[in-house]
């Protein structure tokens, strides 16, 4: 059996839109979020904080429910598509790296809203914990290519502006999760490896 780990942020959940929305509310009402590209690292490009503490307070103390719980899915009907992948050869798990405290509770709320039937969700504190659980990872996070972890599995990278320098390291690249699910060749290859 092959375990596919799907990272929630930037793959299933559009946290960037929520970050921009609540940053506008809290810090910069003049920010026109409809004109901004939410496929980039919005924190680095559009959001200015006085300190890392101020940023962490904003994300994990002041607005975790709004950012992690109330975010929209990245694509319509995604939960149904994800639920249809799992079978006796392929197990799907969701993970969200580096979440803590109120963000975790908010993520469970998000998952209850979207209705994906995934049996396991976990919150790793580092990349090694992801690879301890998963054979294949679908992510937009280029931290997954940790050179200190020998023999990590296959990475399917969701293309974003902030990970473009890591495209060559990935097993495959797609623009969104639906493209992966709809790619019969990709799924056949996974089935062959599982069988």
- The proportion of the chain whose per-residue pLDDT surpasses 70, expressed as a percent, equals 97
- Determine the pLDDT at residue 137: 95
Q: Please, which pLDDT band fits residue 81 given cuts at 50, 70 and 90?
A: confident
Locate 160 and state its tokens. 């974003």
What average pLDDT does the segment 40-68 reach? 94
Non-local (6+) Cβ contacts of 181 within 8 A are 81, 82, 84, 85, 187
pLDDT in tens, 112-158: 999 888 889 999 999 999 999 999 999 999 889 877 776 678 899 99
Alpha helices in the chain (DSSP H): 15-26, 42-46, 52-56, 64, 78-83, 102-114, 127-133, 177-182, 184-194
What's the chain's average pLDDT? 90
pLDDT for residue 56 is more than 90: yes
What average pLDDT does the segment 72-89 reach? 84
- Determine the pLDDT at residue 191: 66
What average pLDDT does the segment 93-112 reach? 93
What average pLDDT does the segment 56-66 reach? 95
Q: Please, which pLDDT band fits residue 6 given cuts at 50, 70 and 90?
A: very high
- Determine the pLDDT at residue 195: 55
pLDDT for residue 29 is more than 80: yes
- Determine the pLDDT at residue 78: 86
Q: Cα(44)–Cα(51) distance, rounded to whole angstroms?
A: 13
DSSP helix/strand/coil, 23? helix
Non-local (6+) Cβ contacts of 192 within 8 A are none
- Determine the pLDDT at residue 194: 57
For the chain, which domains are there?
A: 2-13+72-194 (3.40.50.1000), 15-69 (no CATH)
DSSP state letter for 136: E
What average pLDDT does the segment 162-183 reach? 91
What average pLDDT does the segment 155-182 reach? 92
114: left (phi over 0), alpha (psi -120 to 50) or beta: alpha
């Amino acid at each position: 059996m092959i375990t596919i780990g799907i990272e929630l942020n930037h793959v299933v959940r559009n946290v960037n839109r929520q970050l921009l929305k609540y940053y506008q509310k809290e810090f910069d009402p003049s920010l026109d979020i409809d004109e901004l590209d939410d496929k980039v690292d919005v924190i680095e490009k559009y959001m200015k904080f006085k300190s890392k503490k101020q940023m962490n307070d904003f994300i994990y103390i002041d607005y975790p429910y709004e950012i992690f719980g109330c975010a929209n899915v990245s694509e319509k009907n995604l939960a149904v598509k994800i639920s249809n992948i799992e079978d006796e050869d392929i197990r799907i798990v969701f993970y969200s790296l580096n979440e803590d405290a109120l963000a975790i509770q908010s993520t469970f709320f998000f998952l209850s809203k979207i209705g994906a039937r995934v049996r396991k969700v976990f919150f790793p504190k580092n990349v090694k914990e992801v690879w301890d659980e998963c054979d294949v990872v679908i992510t937009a996070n280029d931290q997954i290519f940790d050179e200190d972890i020998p023999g990590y599995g296959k990475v399917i990278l969701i293309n974003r502006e902030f990970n473009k320098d890591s495209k060559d390291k990935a097993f495959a690249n797609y623009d969104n999760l639906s493209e992966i699910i709809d790619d019969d060749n990709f799924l056949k290859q996974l089935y062959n490896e599982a069988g």
